[in-house]
Amino acid sequence: MTATGQPAAPAGTDERLLRTSPLRRLLGRPELGSVVGAVAVFLFFTIVADSFLQSSSLGTVLYAASTLGIMAAPVALLMIGGEFDLSAGVMVTSSALISSMFSYQMTANVWVGVFVSLLVTLGFGAFNGFMLTRTKLPSFIITLGTFLMLTGLNLGFTKLISGTVSTKAIGNMEGFSSARKIFASYLTVGGVELKVTILWWAVLVAVATWILLRTRFGNWIFAVGGEADAARAVGVPVVRTKIGLYLGVAFAAWVSGQHLLFSYDVVQSGEGVGNELTYIIAAVIGGCLITGGYGSAIGSAVGAVIFGMTSKGIVYAEWNPDWFKFFLGAMLLLATLLNAWVRKRAEATK
Amino acid sequence: MGAVLAAVLGASLMGCSSTGGKRAEERAAKQAAEGRSAVNTPRWTFAMVTHSGDGDTFWDIVQKGAQQAADKDNINFLYSHNDEGQQQAELVQTAIDKKVDGLIVSLAKPDSMKTVVAKAVKAGIPVITVNSGSAESKAFGALTHIGQDESIAGEAVGDELGGRGRKKALCVLHEQGNVGHEQRCAGAKKTFDGTMQNLYVDGTNMPDVQASIEAKLSADKSIDAVVTLGAPFAAAAVKAKKTAGSKAEIDTFDLNASVAAGLSDETLGFAVDQQPYLQGYEAVDLLWLHRFNKNVLGGGRPVLTGPQIITAADADQLAEYTDRGTR
């Protein structure tokens, strides 16, 4: 996971080239604090909720974590690059709507709709990145605009094309069953239902981690998030990097959107609003800084697991749902505080 | 130890309402059934999972009815809700994981719920659907559906509007994506001899609801009737009508205390009640009957709790119950 140590440098050279011990390197990882938080949340719900530890419950928690984690990984990369994407939540719905309606209206094989949707969703991502780098406005504003526009487009187009607020069923069309296998199937392993989204999630996190730690693009992400002007001065292609990050979010939104469509066959045009904050929360619990330049993709996965455990654990514990949001908020604050505390301790020992 | 403590805390929280200033009188009203069941059947656990948003008046009444029946039937009653289809399906999954003895679900978004309800049925959990999903209930393997047929309810509204000599109506949908709401407006459109158009608003944001209706009424002075699909939205529509200086009659689906008062002083035309209390109460009671005696009500057809058209004449008698938050 971490970069291999350089050969020991002779005395008097750059301190960045010094060899560090594996334990030191582990303690310095951004996601360490969130792992401690995850263990704490897990133990807590194991104690207070009887049905939390059943294998079927763990399948449910993992599924909840995966649907969030698929989005949290690219959002974490984007945040390391110093930007936000508030349109990510509704973009998922847009992507599902486009696939479904294109296939239905054109009476095309469902896979055609899936690929058209990929192109259009990537177009939304490119629009975000392009507007951001062209206008120099903060990404918060740009993507807030995209968020509102997409919300309106989702509803407007769906009503215009389908005549109702949800899409028509495409379950009997060609290609649906094969697409369902790819995006929304599950296998049962020892009584636990594992959804395919867990696999998608693992692959996306692995790819994101590889990009971040092993490629030139990964270095660029850290550079533009840390200090964009300095990065530009040393020749980092800031514009390309940021557009690339938005494309990453759009790609994940496409995967999530296809999962929604092929799980439920019909898409509601009004959903997805508010989820963008959940993605950001997962990334932040996982050790990303709101200010950019620091974080990890693995952390976003741990953050998604914490969120999944908390949101489902509260239900397994049979707490009154009126207080649900309060507990969720309190748990997330505690997890993030613990995370920050562990990070401080780890840095102090360097 | 901790689990026991959490269960005790949970149960005590369940008993108390979080809706503010009515607590004292509610306590008085509830004392009759507080913690005392009328049967000696084992303590079964029933879960209810609805598509309600946070802080929804209508579902609060459904929950009260269900809780009342649960107290009476010695049931451990669990309630959870989420307005996103996928999340609601996950909540049903958690109930299956908990191996509950009975399940009550609302099918506002039937396609999201299809797989998970089938899973519950397969796991041998008796399922009853409430409020929305009368068309899908049977196909999904539920015992019974309790609610009002939204199309029939809508048609009743269209007739009533026509009978009141209205020409141009506005149908205000506050829960985007709710198929039942679409059916209501479509039903009203079908039987109404004037013209009717739909207006979508964000039901979780009351100022926005008011502003949207206001804008519409200001822009089109010929609108002479506004139909809202939930009791709290009627009040917003009345305010919007005042600021827009419109002459439209405000009518609404569902009841609450302020709608009852509005009907009495004629700021509102009529209300269409579907008796939410009955939906919650009957759902729990029928599940109990099914576990106790394998009874099923409805003969394979939905058990209808509405529509009931309520006008100024009936409102006075209901005021006592709307104040209590059970009508």
Interior angle at CA A156, CA A155 and CA A158, nearest 5 = 65
DSSP bridge partners of B198: B171
Q: Are strands A192-195 and B44-50 parallel, antiparallel or unpaired?
A: unpaired
- Are B268 and B234 within 8 A, CB to CB? yes
DSSP bridge partners of A258: none
Measured between beta carbons, the chain B residues lying within 8 angstroms of A64 are: 90
User: Residue B281, by phi and psi: left (phi above 0), alpha (psi -120 to 50) or beta?
Assistant: alpha
CA-to-CA distance for B175 and B198, rounded, in angstroms? 12
CA-to-CA distance for A125 and A76, rounded, in angstroms? 15
List the one residue out of A220, A255, A269 whose CA is nearest residue A240: A220
Question: Which of B3, B90, B111 minimises the CB distance to A60?
Answer: B90
- Are A283 and A75 within 8 A, CB to CB? yes
Q: Do A268 and B177 touch (CB under 8 A)?
A: yes
How many alpha carbons lie under 13 Å from residue A308 in its C-beta half-sphere? Answer: 23
Q: Do B97 and A321 touch (CB under 8 A)?
A: no
Question: Which of A54, A155, A323 minimises the CB distance to B97?
Answer: A54
**CA-nearest residue of chain A to B182?**
A164
Instruction: Tell me what the mean pLDDT of segment B189-210 comes to.
Output: 89
Q: Is the pLDDT of residue B296 over 80?
A: yes
CA-to-CA distance for B77 and B16, rounded, in angstroms? 13
Give me chain A's average pLDDT, please: 89
Smallest Cα distance from A214 to chain B, Å: 36
Cα torsion A41, A44, A48, A50 to 10°: value is 70
For residue A4, CA distances in Å to A8, A290, B318 come to 12, 28, 76
- Are A295 and A287 within 8 A, CB to CB? yes
Phi, psi of B21 (to 5 degrees): -70, 0
Give me chain B's average pLDDT, please: 88
- Are B102 and B291 within 8 A, CB to CB? yes
Q: What percent of chain B has pLDDT over 90?
A: 64
- Expressed in angstroms, the distance from the first to the final Cα of chain B is 40
Confidence at residue A1, expressed as pLDDT on a 0 to 100 scale: 43
Q: Encoding tokens for residue B53?
A: 């948003």
- Is the model more confident about B256 or about B50? B50
Q: Are strands B249-253 and B268-273 parallel, antiparallel or unpaired?
A: parallel
For residue A283, CA distances in Å to A86, A287, A332, A340 come to 13, 7, 12, 13
Most A CBs within 10 A among B49, B86, B136, hence the mutation to make, goes to B86
List the one residue out of B257, B276, B275 whose CA is nearest residue B315: B257
Q: Are strands A186-189 and A192-195 parallel, antiparallel or unpaired?
A: antiparallel
**Over chain A (350 residues), what is each successive 10-residue block's mean pLDDT?**
46 63 74 87 92 89 95 97 96 96 94 97 97 95 96 89 84 93 90 91 97 95 93 94 97 96 88 92 89 91 93 88 82 80 75
Measured between beta carbons, the chain A residues lying within 8 angstroms of B200 are: 155, 165
List the one residue out of A167, A179, A80, A71 whose CA is nearest residue A125: A71
Within 10 angstroms of residue A230's Cβ, the number of other Cβ atoms is 11
**Per-residue pLDDT tens digits for A230-284:** 999 999 999 999 999 999 999 999 999 999 999 988 888 888 988 999 999 999 8
Confidence at residue A9, expressed as pLDDT on a 0 to 100 scale: 46
How many alpha carbons lie under 13 Å from residue B249 in its C-beta half-sphere? Answer: 18
Smallest Cα distance from B192 to chain A, Å: 19
**Per-residue pLDDT tens digits for A181-211:** 999 998 888 778 899 999 999 999 999 999 9
Sign of the torsion formed by the C-alpha atoms of A81, A87, A93 and A97: negative
Place of tokens 């030191």: A24
Measured between beta carbons, the chain A residues lying within 8 angstroms of B84 are: 271-272
Q: Are strands B249-253 and B225-228 parallel, antiparallel or unpaired?
A: parallel
Q: How confident is the model at residue B6 (pLDDT cuts 50, 70, 90)?
A: low
Confidence at residue A3, expressed as pLDDT on a 0 to 100 scale: 46
Q: Is the pLDDT of residue B282 over 80?
A: yes
CA-to-CA distance for A273 and A295, rounded, in angstroms? 25
Phi, psi of B126 (to 5 degrees): -65, 135
**Per-residue pLDDT tens digits for B10-24:** 555 555 555 556 565
Interior angle at CA A154, CA A256 and CA B154, nearest 5 = 115
- Is the model more confident about B308 or about B34? B308
Q: Is the pLDDT of residue B32 over 50?
A: no
Lowest mean pLDDT, pick from A30-39, B143-152, B300-309: A30-39
Full-prediction pTM beyond 0.85? no
Measured between beta carbons, the chain A residues lying within 8 angstroms of B54 are: 325
List the one residue out of A325, A278, A277, A283 whose CA is nearest residue A300: A283
Confidence at residue A298, expressed as pLDDT on a 0 to 100 scale: 95
Confidence at residue B11, expressed as pLDDT on a 0 to 100 scale: 54
- Are A167 and A158 within 8 A, CB to CB? yes
Q: Do B90 and A312 touch (CB under 8 A)?
A: yes
- Are A225 and A82 within 8 A, CB to CB? yes
List the one residue out of A124, A120, A151, A181 whose CA is nearest residue A271: A151
3-state secondary structure A154-197: HHHHHHHHHCCCECCCCCCCCCHHHHHHHHHCEEEECCEEEEHH
CA-to-CA distance for B325 and B67, rounded, in angstroms? 13
Q: What sections of chain A are H helices per DSSP?
A: 22-27, 32-48, 55-80, 88-106, 110-135, 139-162, 176-184, 196-214, 216-226, 228-233, 238-264, 275-285, 297-316, 324-348
Q: Is the peptide bond before B307 cis (omega within 30 degrees of 0)?
A: yes
Most A CBs within 10 A among B100, B112, B117, hence the mutation to make, goes to B112
Helix (H, G, I), strand (E, B) or coil at A101: helix
Interface of B with A (CB under 8 A): 2-3, 6-7, 9-10, 13-14, 18, 54, 78-81, 84-86, 89-91, 93-94, 96-99, 109, 111-112, 114-115, 176-179, 182, 200
Q: Encoding tokens for residue B63?
A: 């929950």
DSSP bridge partners of A193: A188
- Is the model more confident about B53 or about B276? B276
